[in-house]
Amino acid sequence: MKGGKGLYSVRMRAERGHAHISGAEGIFGENDIGETVLAYVARALHHSKGAPDTLELKVELLPRPPALISALPVCTLKTTCPADAKRKAALLLARAGVSERAIGKAFRILSAGRMRGAALLDAAGGERLEPDRKRGVRASMLGISRGAMKSLEAALSEKKLDHPRVKDALVLASKVASADGIAAELCISDDPDYTTGYVAAPALGYVRLPRIKKKGSLEGGRAFFTTKASAASRLARYLEETPVLVGKISEIGDIITLHGLQARHNHRKPGGKKILGKKDRTGRAASGPGRLGR
């Protein structure tokens, strides 16, 4: 991929009836479009939710060159059961500056399931901020460069995590975290068979949470929490429309405990703020490679 010239957004969406089966997207050079489309079609036809009756593909020249960002660092938290994983998710969100009220609201939205996009919540008061609550906000116009994808696949393989789902979610979460005014994201897959979710935040990275739901459960969804409620429509526009490309990866870590995660952050910020310190509720905007979306 060179410059911003000849880069395309390729998007796939598969449905049965009006129910969503699967979706995927990326940013590719002209020469990679054919191969990508074939891979997306195969993916849509072999989904655990069953076969789709409609498959839509959209190939669109990027309106402008993508902004380049780094992927969030990845780790996996030790969890024992849905209650434990959810408790830890809530703790992480609180430490990223999200209020108890907003966290409760997000979990209620996610347990209802059935949204196409994400709920956009005020991190302080928990108010819903997206114009269309049924649809939510869609993070779109995102992708990862060929080089970064190679490095990511190699690093994920070492931890036995090289699955399309993990790669897609990391790219999405990295774009979301790059937006100005994002405090954190909570995600639970809507796939009945996929029970790992995550919390992501600029100051925490991408923290995977195995066992966050029971196998077979239809709950699932995403919530984005913002500290800039008054700029919600600008934030939604950035998430939906601004092309963003992951051009570099960060550390792909091991399975760690909550304590380990805290130690990692303390280690990373010598003399700086303890991102996960008990009293610290403002660590959210403390770091992160190049905040975008202004």
Q: Identify which of residues 208 and 264 has a Cβ nearer to ligand WAQ in the complex.
A: 208
Q: How far is the CB of 138 from Mg ion (least distance, A)?
A: 13
CB atoms < 10 A from the CB of 233, how many? 12
# binding residues, ligand WAQ (CB under 6 A): 23
Among 142, 190, 232, 236, binds Mg ion (CB under 5 A): 190
Q: Where on the phi/psi map is residue 216: left (φ > 0), alpha (ψ -120 to 50), or beta?
A: left
Pick 73 or 220: Cβ nearer ligand WAQ: 220
Residues 86-125 as x/- pattern, contact with ligand WAQ by CB under 6 A: -----------------------------xxxx-------
Three-state secondary-structure class, residue 219: coil
Q: Residue from 36, 189, 195, 242 that binds ligand WAQ (CB under 6 A)?
A: 189
3-state class of 155 per DSSP?
Answer: helix
Cα separation, 239 vs 222, in Å, equals 13
Q: How far is the CB of 117 from ligand WAQ (least distance, A)?
A: 4
* Plot region of 282 (φ>0 → left; ψ -120 to 50 → alpha; else → beta): alpha
222 binds, among Mg ion, ligand WAQ, none (CB under 5 to 8 A by kind): ligand WAQ
Strand partners, 137: 118
Binding mask 148-187 for Mg ion (x = CB under 5 A): ----------------------------------------
Q: 165: closest CA among 142, 146, 191?
A: 191
CA–CA distances in Å: residue 110 to residues 59, 80, 140: 30, 20, 20
Given 86, 222, 264, 284, the residue binding ligand WAQ (CB under 6 A): 222
CB atoms within 10 A of CB 279: 6
> How many Å apart are CA 95 and CA 285, to the nearest integer?
12
CB 206 within 8 A of CB 253: no
Q: Which helix (H) or strand (E) holds 240?
A: helix 232-241
**Site stretch for ligand WAQ (CB under 6 A), options 42-50, 186-194, 251-259, 272-280:** 186-194
As measured in angstroms, the least distance from the Cβ of 194 to Mg ion is 7
Strand order in the sheet with 19-29: 19-29, 7-16, 54-61
**CB of 282: closest distance to ligand WAQ in angstroms?**
26
- Report helix angle 146-158 to 164-178, nearest 10: 120
Q: Give least dist CB 113 to ligand WAQ, A.
A: 7
- 232 is an interface residue for ligand WAQ by CB under 6 A: no
Please pick, from the candidates 191, 192, 210, 229, the single residue that binds Mg ion as defined by CB under 5 A. 191
Binding site for Mg ion (CB under 5 A): 190-191
Binding site for ligand WAQ (CB under 6 A): 115-118, 138-140, 165-166, 169, 172, 187, 189-191, 194, 196-198, 208, 220-222
